[in-house]
Structure 1
Amino acid sequence: MASIRRRRRAKDDVWVVDYRDGAGVRRWATFRSRREAEDALARIIPESRQAAPRVVDRDITLDDYAARWLAQVATEIKPRTLDSYKRNLDRHVLPAFGRFKLRELHRGHLRDFLARKRGAGLGKNSVRLIRAVLSVLLSDAVDDGIILANAALQLRGSRRRRPDSISQAERQKKIRPMDHGQLAAFLAAAQADSRHYPLFLLLARTGLRPGEAYALQWGDLDFRGRELRVERALSAGAIETPKTGQTRTVDMSDQLTRTLRRLEIDRMVEKLRRGWREMPPWVFCTEAGTPLDESRVRKAFAQALKRAKLPGFRLYDLRHSFASLLLAQNAPITYVSAQLGHTDATTTLRWYARWLPRTDKRAVDLLDDGWVSPVDRLGEAEVGTVGSQLVAKTGSESESGAPDDSEAPDLFGGPSGTRTPDPLIKRRPDVLSRVVLNHHKSTAYAA
């Protein structure tokens, strides 16, 4: 941060501007008055915020640029993303194009390269990740002034669906949630493992990503409000921000709240038994008080599945089970999306659309021409009252020798003959309802 300070000297005082330039190098400038220093600082600050341009050889090869690029992005991306970049560059991209100069790499090269990968039996998602790392790397090369355009980005220009893209149907096929019975059987079997059961229950009742659950701390839990805060995630042993980069509040079920309360008490007892100076901050931890190891959790999950005699689900399927079961019970998709930590509900819909219950067919019937308005429904109710009175009246006439029930007027549109002189009775129900309503209105006005 730039600043101005006064330096006292024997003859006269000077004013020093202390700042860092665009390359991050600390620098000083000396002035005779504070006003001069302030004027200089006003010029220096905008310049210092402009990063110094990188000096990169335009003839650099992909091998050399990739090594430099990986070192630069290592501090900007998550460890798993960095591992994915390195793996795909080393296994696929660099063996094919490592000796190419970056400016010699064209769209035709990449299109043929990806086609060969698909032809060799590489999965769609694997091909997508290869193209992704190429695209990110070449975008930075454009920023460095080495190339004019990103050849990998231009592969998206085709109007046809890319062979390596994943359709919504294919995406949903990858989701294998447990149903109610399977989930209940799994959780019952998991109770035999007291170290991991609370974790499995939390994943099934909140939909957290496993890494978010591993990084939960006791301070993130609000037992009274039955909520927890997702502030961080654990990935490859390193603490990082959640996947979307945003924190969120997640509701806890009553069963989960009671289970975590008991876990906290058990942890306090464990602290005394093991002689820990302080209770570990992690909600889920090992016997040494450190965060749970991912490989051990997966092993415990597989053992619980075996005890429950269930097929080979993945740990992440507990998140899918949470979402699909909630949606199947008509939970609002916006609520499910917020619980899962999706950036918006369209992401939730894209993954879980087929678990939304179908609407009752009566909903589409409302579009028909025969739909009855609320006013008409009121009229029909009045017709029913008048009709009952009329039927009672004709019944009494039948007993005194008047026309019998078979000759009573049909108020539902059937033929009634002309045996009654009463014009009200001979009207059709829709007309009759309006007459009754008008009669009520006139009575009200008279009152």
Structure 2
Amino acid sequence: MGGNQQFEGVYAREASILISFHWEGRRHRERLAIAPTTANLRAAARLRDQIVKAIEIDKFTLDDFATHFPDSAYLRKVGGPVGATFEVVVENWLTVVGQDLAATTVKEYRNTLARHFQPDFDQRQIASISYEELALHLAAKKIRSGKTFNNIMTPVRGVFAYALKTKRISIDPTLEIPARQHQKAKPDPLEVHEIELVLDHLRKRDSSQWLNYFEFAFFTGLRPSELIALKWSSVDFLRKRVTVESARVRAVDKDAKTHRSRDVDLQSRALAALKRQKAHTFMAGEHVFHNPATGLRFFDTGAPVQDCWRPTLKAVGLRDRDAKQTRHSFATMCLHAGMNPAYVARQMGHIDTRMFFEVYSKWIDGQANDREISKLDALFSQSHGAKSL
């Protein structure tokens, strides 16, 4: 963009922006390591206005200068202060967001930052990290999945947004890195005869607890994290329902996904599975389902998948899919049976029923679509009949 000036005291360079202002008897021309796009030039102009106004009322300090221009030669000359490092801002941000987020989420954010950003940026002043550095850093990782890329970016966006709010940086470089589009995985439920294949195979296993676990899963639609957290105190045999109020994610107990408890009515096969399970764990602890191999509650959702679910699918000749398909299978069975979609959505814990209709529209519309297609067939059938007369 050359040296064309679009805003007072702001100059575009080939790969950066210069800001010019007078402070403490001298003229400063300081560089911002961001691309000279129109949006960035506007942001630089706003920053310059803030600096100029602060100087006018004698509120601009050397600390402020270091925050905005951490790599300035002027700082090295006068022995100016060192700005906050990326590591320090990460810890401060995690402390703040940890007041509102689940412990598992904070742990996941910490692990993501430690794996993908901190080895390279920890000791850097966060204000010195440019858009170009972040973009090249991410490009070098060759992340193909849009979902994975967005998940990696979530905590680092939070860190830089926090740094901007706390005036550690002047411009957030992550705003120039767009989120990637990705296609959400569609439900891959089992057909009714496939469910029976799975359950028949589980009846032949040494422990009937696996049969109880998966039959209950298929006929309640609980999430795997809710299944392993279910307690006997939440089971009401008289009213034939269970109250879902907690989940276990990455070995940590937490509130249910929506932070709201819900009552799930027990269909006869789900109720029968619970009654059989009662003989195994009712007197052995507070949780309904235990790992048959250890006799203890499930540590996480890994054991049901690795020890039972995937080996069973392979044994009965079904394609591999994740264990959450028991939940999708429940939803589609209910819809095939003609149950009210709004009732099914409540049973499954969907606060926003629009999402339920979006996810399962294929099955909700199925019979209606068949009826509409038959109308067109009937029209052509009548037309053909008339011509043959």
Shorter-chain TM-score range: 0.5 to 0.7
1:165 match: 181
Deviation at 1:122, TM superposition (A): 3.3
Deviation at 1:266, TM superposition (A): 4.5
2:323 match: 315
Matches within 5 A, 1:105-124: 105-107=129-131, 109-117=133-141, 120-124=142-146
1:138 match: 160
1:103 match: 127
1:222 match: 236
- Distance (whole Å) between structure 2 residues aligned to residue 154 and residue 340 of structure 1: 38
Deviation at 1:333, TM superposition (A): 2.9
Matches within 5 A, 1:36-435: 58=67, 59-74=83-98, 76-107=100-131, 109-117=133-141, 120-148=142-170, 150-153=172-175, 155=177, 162=179, 164-166=180-182, 170-173=183-186, 175-191=187-203, 192=205, 193-267=207-281, 271=283, 279-286=284-291, 290-293=296-299, 294-298=301-305, 299-358=307-366, 359-360=368-369
- Distance (whole Å) between structure 2 residues aligned to residue 342 and residue 246 of structure 1: 10
Maintained 8 Å contact 1:215/1:233: yes
Deviation at 1:189, TM superposition (A): 1.1
- Distance (whole Å) between structure 1 residues aligned to residue 171 and residue 339 of structure 2: 46
Structure 1: unaligned runs, 5 residues or longer: 1-54, 157-161, 272-278, 367-447
Letter in 1 for 2:154: A
- Distance (whole Å) between structure 2 residues aligned to residue 327 and residue 105 of structure 1: 52
Letter in 1 for 2:285: P
Local SS of the residue matching 1:171: coil
CA 232–116 in structure 1, closer or farther in 2 if over 3 Å, else same: same
Maintained 8 Å contact 2:213/2:273: no
Deviation at 1:107, TM superposition (A): 4.7
Local SS of the residue matching 1:239: strand
Deviation at 1:77, TM superposition (A): 3.0
Maintained 8 Å contact 1:103/1:146: yes
- Distance (whole Å) between structure 2 residues aligned to residue 114 and residue 346 of structure 1: 35
**TM-score, length-scaled by structure 1:** 0.57
Deviation at 1:215, TM superposition (A): 1.0
Deviation at 1:97, TM superposition (A): 3.8
Maintained 8 Å contact 2:217/2:326: yes
CA 94–349 in structure 1, closer or farther in 2 if over 3 Å, else same: farther
Maintained 8 Å contact 1:328/1:357: no
Deviation at 1:338, TM superposition (A): 1.5
**CA deviation profile, 1:192-223 (whole Å, cap 9, x unmatched):** 23122211112111111111111111121122
Deviation at 1:105, TM superposition (A): 4.0
Local SS of the residue matching 2:209: coil
**CA deviation profile, 1:80-129 (whole Å, cap 9, x unmatched):** 32332123212222345444433344555545544554xx2432211011
- Distance (whole Å) between structure 2 residues aligned to residue 364 and residue 122 of structure 1: 40
Number of residue equivalences? 291
**CA deviation profile, 1:377-414 (whole Å, cap 9, x unmatched):** xxxxxxxxxxxxxxxxxxxxxxxxxxxxxxxxxxxxxx
CA 148–226 in structure 1, closer or farther in 2 if over 3 Å, else same: farther
Maintained 8 Å contact 1:330/1:357: no
Moved more, 104-113 or 298-307: 104-113
Where relative contact order (Cα < 8 A, 6+ residues apart) is larger, the structure is 2
Maintained 8 Å contact 2:93/2:158: no
- Distance (whole Å) between structure 1 residues aligned to residue 222 and residue 340 of structure 2: 18
1:9 match: none
- Distance (whole Å) between structure 2 residues aligned to residue 321 and residue 91 of structure 1: 36
- Distance (whole Å) between structure 2 residues aligned to residue 253 and residue 183 of structure 1: 16
1:36 match: none
Local SS of the residue matching 2:243: strand
Deviation at 1:285, TM superposition (A): 2.1
Letter in 2 for 1:296: A
- Distance (whole Å) between structure 1 residues aligned to residue 357 and residue 136 of structure 2: 34
- Distance (whole Å) between structure 1 residues aligned to residue 169 and residue 102 of structure 2: 27
**CA deviation profile, 1:409-430 (whole Å, cap 9, x unmatched):** xxxxxxxxxxxxxxxxxxxxxx
Maintained 8 Å contact 1:216/1:282: yes
Deviation at 1:154, TM superposition (A): 5.8
Deviation at 1:234, TM superposition (A): 1.4
Q: CA RMSD in A?
A: 3.1
2:55 match: none
Structure 2: unaligned runs, 5 residues or longer: 1-62, 68-82, 376-389
**CA deviation profile, 1:255-290 (whole Å, cap 9, x unmatched):** 11122123224445xx4xxxxxxx411111246663
- Distance (whole Å) between structure 2 residues aligned to residue 115 and residue 327 of structure 1: 44
Matches within 5 A, 1:15-54: none
Report the identity percentage.
Answer: 23
Deviation at 1:314, TM superposition (A): 1.7
**TM-score, length-scaled by structure 2:** 0.65
Letter in 2 for 1:184: E
Maintained 8 Å contact 1:280/1:289: no
Local SS of the residue matching 2:149: helix
**CA deviation profile, 1:292-329 (whole Å, cap 9, x unmatched):** 23333221222322332322222122112222333344
Larger gyration radius, structure 1 or structure 2: 1
